[in-house]
Amino acid sequence: MASNKILKIHKSRAFSFRQLWDLKDSYITNIILRLLKKINTFLILGIFCCFGQIETRGQSTVTERAIYRQFEKPGKVLWLKHYKGRFDGMNSISVSLAYDGKDCKGMMTYLSSKEKFNLEGDINGNEINLEEKGKNGKVSAVIFGTIEGKQIEADWITVENNTGAKIFLEEVNREVKIPTRCGEDKWIRLYHGFFEKEKVELLLHHPDHIDYYGMAFFNDQKATYKINGERIEEGQIKLTLKDSRHQNKGKLNTTLDDQNTLKGKFQDEENHVVPISLALVQQLNMACLEHADFQSNVDISYPLSLNEKFNSWIEDFTKQWVAQSQKQINELKPQYKKKKPDHRALFRAFAWCELSMVNERLITGYFSSSYSWGGVQPGESFNFDLFAGKPITEKDIFKQDAAHEDFVKQYIKLHIRKLALYKKDKIFRAWLDKETFGNFVVQKDGIKYSTAFSPIYGRQEIVIPYKVLKDFLKENSAVSHLVD
């Protein structure tokens, strides 16, 4: 009886055997579920990591995957790097290179046309040598240069027609697909200051990461000299000064550590050395229009000012030049449909601007152009009146009679005979005698008349001082403030 009572109590307060079994079953199930959850966690993490790696590889660009496929064993590639850069400081390119310890392979893209080239070669120390191949797999050019940190400086030369260019590349984090602003590393600066005690105005062009050129006006001498030079190391530039007869006048070594000042030393032809110090007065940014593909490249660079009318005028001029050049190339291209190695960079058109003077009233200079299919074109000089908002001609500054024209012709004829090369070179003399000196620009020391640009002799120039022209000039013209 007692046992039955106890059983009843037990039944009332405890689980039945079936309930106990169900509880056991539920307990085991929970343990299993907990174990499974832990296992699933590790599985999910493993799968995530695995898929994460797959996802990372999946996110590689089309260019990167194409480069990996160039290697027999892609898994042995040590690194893949991306670079942005330019051909001769103009045509924007993207370069991606990979290296497996033996071979270097990659791809170059013209960002304006999206045309691609395979690259293949090797790296020996800091020297890099590559072959450029078009879609047909044939070598169209070679590239050889040096790697310095995150930069590559190289020469590019076609294998058939010996056309060459300088390439400067800078490493970036990812593949560049959009052309960078062409004028971002270019400028024109006007400096005022002293070469010891003499007041000097220096107009300095920086068209790429190495070269410099421009004009220097010496106030006491009332003379303008041409400047040409290059960067010799970071922050250091070396310039040579020449007069209008191309005679050396001295050398200038200066620093560009601070963009607001130029400091250094000037050494003349008699080895007199004087200190220089010039301050930045004005900077003009540069802009470019460019296009390049397998067969052709077209580019033009030009300055921009704070004057909207000048900018509008010069942009219209450059667009017209590009349109005309591209039209001529399109007419020639059908003759060379197949992209053979000897068709690489076959059609080339370049134009560049050289400023002669910049002040509050005038911007003056030249546009020169060169075409691979038609030689050098005459070019065009310009004298833009910032107050009037338009270019000026000789009619705007000379009195309305023909007397000044005869005087200018006779003056030029007399002074070209004083050129050293005129006396020595018969071919030069014959060429110069036929030239019209049809271009003119206003500058500080006078009006400069010049020939068209010659690939052999350059642009020959004769400057006629204002004191000589004074009787022929109008009063209150755009150049009146320059006449003593």
Instruction: Report how far residue 155's alpha carbon sits from residue 145's, in angstroms, rounded to the nearest whole number.
Output: 6
- Is the four-CA dihedral 467, 469, 472, 475 of positive or negative sign? negative
pTM of the model: 0.81
Low-confidence ranges of the chain (pLDDT < 70): 1-59, 257-259, 375-378
Instruction: Give the pLDDT of residue 250.
Output: 95
Residue bearing tokens 């290697």: 71
Instruction: Give the pLDDT of residue 259.
Output: 67
Instruction: Give the pLDDT of residue 379.
Output: 78
b or e along 253-274 (b: 16 or more beta carbons within 10 Å of the residue's beta carbon)? bbebeeeeebebebeeeeeeee
Counting every residue, how long is the chain? Answer: 484
Phi, psi of 69 (to 5 degrees): -70, -15
b or e along 387-424 (b: 16 or more beta carbons within 10 Å of the residue's beta carbon)? eeeebbeeeebbeeeeebeeebeebbeebbeebeebee
Instruction: Give the pLDDT of residue 30.
Output: 55
* Residue in 281, 187, 354, 269 with CA at minimum distance from that of residue 252: 269
- Amino acid sitting at position 145: G
- Residue 30, Cβ density class (10 Å: 0-12 exposed, 13-18 middle, ≥19 buried): exposed
Instruction: Give the pLDDT of residue 66.
Output: 95
Residue-wise DSSP of 59-98: TS-HHHHHHHHTSSSGGG--EEEEEEEEETTTEEEEEEEE
- Amino acid sitting at position 144: F
Instruction: Give the pLDDT of residue 374.
Output: 75
Residue 265, token pair as written in the block:
């030393």
